[in-house]
Structure formats: C-alpha cells, structure tokens
Structure 1
Amino acid sequence: MADRKSYHHGNLRQALVDATAALVEESGPQSFTLAEAARRAGVSPAAPYRHFKGRDDLLEEVARQGFIEFSELLETSFDEGRPDPMAAFLRLGQAYLDFARNRPGFYMAMFESGVSIAGNADLSRAADRALGVLVSSAGALFQDMPPDSRPPARMVANHIWALSHGVVELFSRGKPGGRTPISPADMLESGVRIYLRGLGVFPR
C-alpha cells in the first residue's frame, strides 16, 4: 500500500496515476473504478476528487503521462537520425515494442481505453509529440528522393504506427512463440522493410 505520508507533500495525484496504471495492466482499461484506484493508492474513496473530476479524467492523465514518456523514448531512440535515417527509423520500432512491454498499463490507457484525445488539449499535445517523431523520422527517409516521388511523411508514419500496434496486439502478448516462432522485433522490422521497399526507399 502506498505511503499516506507522501500525500501531504503533493504526491496524491501521481500515486493515483500509478495505481490506475497498475489496475489497467491487471484487468484492462474498462474494468477499474475510481474507488479501486483510491484503495490501491491507500486513500479514501473521496480523495481522488481533489485532483480528478472522475474516472475518465484520471484515465486521460495516465494516457497523457504515457505519451510523454513514449515520446521521450522515441526521441532518444531516433537520436536525430544518427548514424543514418534508416537505422534510426528501425530503432523506433524496437522502442515501440519496448514501451508496450515495459509500460503496459500506460500503453493500454493510451491506445485501448477509448479516451478522447481530441477532447483534452494536454493529452492531444502529448500524443501529437509522439506522432511528430514518427513523421519527422519518416520524412528523413525520403530526403534524397525527388520531391515529386516522396510519399507523404504523415501517411507513412500512420502506416508504421498501425503496423507496430498490430505486432504488439497479435504477437507481443501472451506466451512468446505462441502464434509464430518469429520474434515480435523481427516481425516488425521485416514488415517495415517490405513496406518501405514498396515505396522505393531502397532497391528490391
């Protein structure tokens, strides 16, 4: 149980976020209640209302913090395209898988909870930051191609995001090797390479 003394120093809000992420990891984003989050954090059922309007507001904050951490991981992994854009772009895929594996409660709050990203300005900014890393990294892949041959960077980013999420959902959860002997990382990298080859990023 969380240390109640810490809440006198302004940590109640974060304790509730962490408790909610743990509950989401255990039972999914639709199954927890605000009272359960309060109990997990070691406070009264009324305490969460000091910081959050309700359950959805708390879940949106979990998602917001998740997107911030996710963005930082992507930015670090891309490392401004060093040593070359392709190597940096492929590192983003591994970073995506790592985040989903290491922070499942936050990941599910971000992508599987049904929270309204557009309806929360702070959450929307955090999500846009993560997408922005993918868009800029995709654009770097095409910088040497003729301008009229370059595919839209945002389209590519969205396709890669969807591919990454699909690998997480289908192949990264449950017993390793249960669906395929190919590792999630190899599955994602091969899919990305096939996709980019189709766009003419590198020769067949």
Structure 2
Amino acid sequence: MTIRVLIVDDDPLVRGALTMMLDGAGEIVVVGEAADGAAAITAVDRHAPDVVLMDIRMPGMSGIVATQRLRARPRPPEIIVLTTFDTDDHIVRALRAGAGGFLLKDTPPDRIAAAVRTAAAGEPSLSPSVARRLMQQVATGAAGYERARATLAGLTPRERDVVLAIARGSANADIAAALGMSVTTVKAHVSHILTKLALTNRTQIALLAHDAGLV
C-alpha cells in the first residue's frame, strides 16, 4: 500500500531533503509540501495525505495549532511532529493536540521512514529520548489526576486492560497475545475507547492513563 505523505516546514531546504529521502523509501510517496500551519490545512484538503510530518515553530499558524485543527476533523491524517525543539512543554502540547509521534530532526533517515510506516498503521512513534522524557513527566497535579480517573471510570474492565497495555507501549498484536483475544477484537476495543473518551489516537490514551496514575 502506498503511504501518502505531506511535509510541513518553513525551511525549503528541510522540505527538499525530507522529500528526497522519503521518496526513495519504498512505498512512501511525498504528495505535497507546505511552509506553515495554515498552508498545511489547505494542502491536506488538496492532497489527502495519510501522514503529515509537521514542524512546530513556523510563521503564522504553529504546527501545534494546525495539528489540533486537523485531528479534530473526520478521518484526519496521522501527524508526526518533526522538530529541533524537544522541550517537555513542546512534547506534551504536541501529543495532547493529537500528534501520533514526536521525532527530532536529527533522527536517522531510516528511523523517520519507519516512523511514517508506523504512523500510517495507527501506532505511535516517539524518538527514544522523547519517550524517556515523556515517561518522566510528573502527574498533572491533584485536579488533573482526579479528572483523568473520572474519565476512565466509564470504561469496562477489559477496556481498562487495553488502556493499560497501550500506556505501556504495547502494539495491537502484543495486546492480543497478552489478553487472549484477536487483533481484530483489540482494534475494536481501541475504537470504542477512543469514542468513549473523545480522544483521537492511542498516544492520547496513553497520556490519560499516565495522568490517572495507572502507569
């Protein structure tokens, strides 16, 4: 299956380098480019990409705002934030906005291509350093903790098991093996959880589980 990619970055050299790199990565095809968040939204309408590589700091609309607006749409593209800024605030804001991945621009080309494939399959993709820092984030405070616990209270015991597995970084196949169910059933549970919690992707499920102190 061809994976359609849109590259969003205000630096034309970065866009050109990413295009050259990804266009040579098997089934990945770069279908368009954009220089800021507003142009990214227009380009998504025009090119219907499966995955968007999104910079954070750009003139006009930022990558985080663009991510939030795109992910609020029906059938949105998967979004990977690709940036030089790896502060804790940027990481959490991007993931809460709906990004399914967060990579640094010094990530090796093969890992960026692998992250695109992973995102297209609906799985989160984080640089190892970003994943470690995210797991080290302190809870959002007593109020955030209670809100997260209350939000998760409406899930069935089996759905909570799936949430916990997602928060630990397990893929669908691993969850199926651990919980004794088919991958299709796991996908159905994930879909129901996203609908119940009004979330857009697995990364937001994991963040909510961490806020609730489950992991």
TM-score by length of 1: 0.27
Higher helix share: 1
Higher RCO (CA 8 Å, separation ≥ 6 residues):
1
When Rg is computed on C-alpha atoms for both structures, the one with the higher figure is 1
Higher strand share: 2
